[in-house]
Amino acid sequence: MPRRDMASTARPSDVPGGPPVVVAITGASGAPYGVRLLQLLAAARTPIALIVSAPGFRLLRTEVGIESLADLRTAIGAAAWDACVTSYDNADSGAPPASGSAATRGMVVCPCSMGTLAAAAAGASRSLIERAADVTLKERRRLILVPRETPLSIIHLQNMMRLARAGAVILPAAPGFYHRPTAVAQLVDFVVARVLDHLAVAQSVVVPWGGSCASSD
Ligand SMILES: Cc1cc2nc3c(=O)[nH]c(=O)nc-3n(C[C@H](O)[C@H](O)[C@H](O)COP(=O)(O)O)c2cc1C
């Protein structure tokens, strides 16, 4: 069942419209990327259909101390969450993201485990996340996968190749260093900004590379 709670604090002009971006958080290391992605999408007033796998919740707990959807709502900001986020149980195979007739702006799996990546490559559709990825590909919508694994086996690489050939964007959680980051948050923002670029959602957290680094030394 969808869980949506329109906040009394959300003004009508703040309430986003249009189809949602499907965001899935799975059990790869990199929960901070998923949290930050939700924060920035909500800040941009983008409707979000959120699905978190059971291992995704485990990683949220382990890496950022988020124990529940309620904690995640607090991390995103209650008003922004209530205005933008509709969450679905990963076992709910009848939720809107399971059907191509429900319009979306595409789907991001961030972070994306090798398990979910393999399932998407196989069209397995055993959970809502897997089915939504399958639907996104068959409807020729944007599917962005943010894998985190190292090293990569030939099976991982073949799965990525298969997905890329089917139209998915493989966007590894591999931050660059040419902006001279001094904090983990900047590394996280680097990756999330690239995801937003591929969703055509405006972001100003990372300045596009202009050919040189501003530096005093
Ligand atoms: C602490 C921890 C870290 C993990 N990190 C990764 C990872 O970086 N990449 C990965 O592919 N799987 C990782 N896993 C394994 C996945 O969570 C596991 O394969 C899980 O079944 C994936 O399920 P899901 O895709 O439904 O979330 C990790 C598991 C744990 C407990």
Q: What is the CATH number of the domain that holds 133?
A: 3.40.50.1950
Q: Is 58 near ligand 1, meaning CB less than 6 Å away? A: yes
CA-based Rg of the chain, rounded to a whole angstrom?
A: 17
Query: Domain for residue 41, yes or no?
Result: yes
State if residue 201 touches ligand 1 by the CB under 6 angstroms criterion. no
**∠199-170-48 over CA atoms, to 5°?**
35
Query: Using CA atoms, how far apart are residues 103 and 18, in angstroms rounded to an integer?
Result: 9
Q: Judge contact between 200 and 169, C-beta under 8 A.
A: no
Considering only residues 21 and 13, tell me which one the structure prediction assigns the higher pLDDT.
21
Residue 32: the pLDDT is 98
Mean residue pLDDT across the chain: 92
Q: Which atom of ligand 1 is nearest to the CA of 114?
A: 11
pLDDT for 9 beyond 50: no
Range of the domain at 195: 12-199
Distance 110 CA to ligand 1 centre (A): 12
The C-alpha torsion from 35 through 208 and 21 to 108, rounded to 10°, is -70
Q: Is pLDDT at 21 greater than 90 in this prediction?
A: yes
Q: Are strands 107-112 and 143-147 parallel, antiparallel or unpaired?
A: parallel
Q: Is residue 169 part of a domain?
A: yes
Q: Is 119 part of any domain? A: yes
Which protein residue has the closest C-alpha to ligand 1 atom 28? 28
97: DSSP letter: G
Residue 207: predicted pLDDT: 84
Asked if 85 and 91 touch (Cβ cutoff 8 Å), the reply is no
**Residue 194 within any structural domain of the chain:** yes
Burial of 208 (0-12, 13-18, 19+ CB in 10 A): exposed
Task: Output the CA 113–ligand 1 centroid distance in Å.
Answer: 5
Q: Is the CB of 149 under 6 A from ligand 1?
A: yes
Residue 208, pLDDT score:
85
Per-residue pLDDT at 125 exceeds 80: yes
CA–centroid distance, residue 89 to ligand 1 (Å): 18
pLDDT at residue 210, as a whole number: 83
Q: Tokens for 162? A: 């298969």
**Residue 159 Cβ < 6 Å to ligand 1:** no
CA distance 134 to 152: 23
Structural domain count, the chain? 1
Q: What pLDDT is stored for residue 10 in this prediction?
A: 43
For residue 211, what pLDDT is reported? 76
- Do the domain assignments include residue 211? no
For residue 195, is it within any domain?
yes
Task: Report pLDDT digits (tens) over 136-191.
Answer: 999 999 999 999 999 999 999 999 999 999 999 999 999 999 999 999 999 999 99
The rounded distance, in Å, linking the Cα atoms of 50 and 107 is 10
Please give the Cα distance from 87 to 96 (Å, whole number). Answer: 11
Residue to mutate (ligand 1; options 60, 64, 113, 127; most atoms within 8 A of CB): 113
For the entire predicted model, the pTM comes to 0.93
Does 126 sit in the ligand 1 pocket, CB within 6 Å?
A: no
For residue 28, is pLDDT > 70? Answer: yes
